[in-house]
Structure 1
């Protein structure tokens, strides 16, 4: 199972990214994909892939 955590406040972008990743990994013969959009510390520890969003300049604060 592939665990993916998406931390993105924009609902439309997050939904599109969810469809894109699910379709991409389905073509790569991954049997099961779990996408979590509500990141918790426990979920992050178990994640194989993290998708985070940063606002412009946020990486400098």
Structure 2
């Protein structure tokens, strides 16, 4: 079950996963939208944000 779930999640775009996470966890919504705004506004300056959020789906970090 775990493996097939990872296989399915690999085909889902990251913004879809973020929307799902925001919908299921209201506390994360503000952090996610803030991170997305930072990523869209600055491409090179948002290095720490993008490097932390772009973790490969095969090894999910649940913090």
TM-score bracket, shorter-length normalisation: 0.3 to 0.5
Q: Higher relative CO (CA 8 A, sep ≥ 6), structure 1 or 2?
A: 1
TM-score normalised by structure 2 residue count: 0.32
TM-score normalised by structure 1 residue count: 0.32
Q: Which has the higher strand share?
A: 1
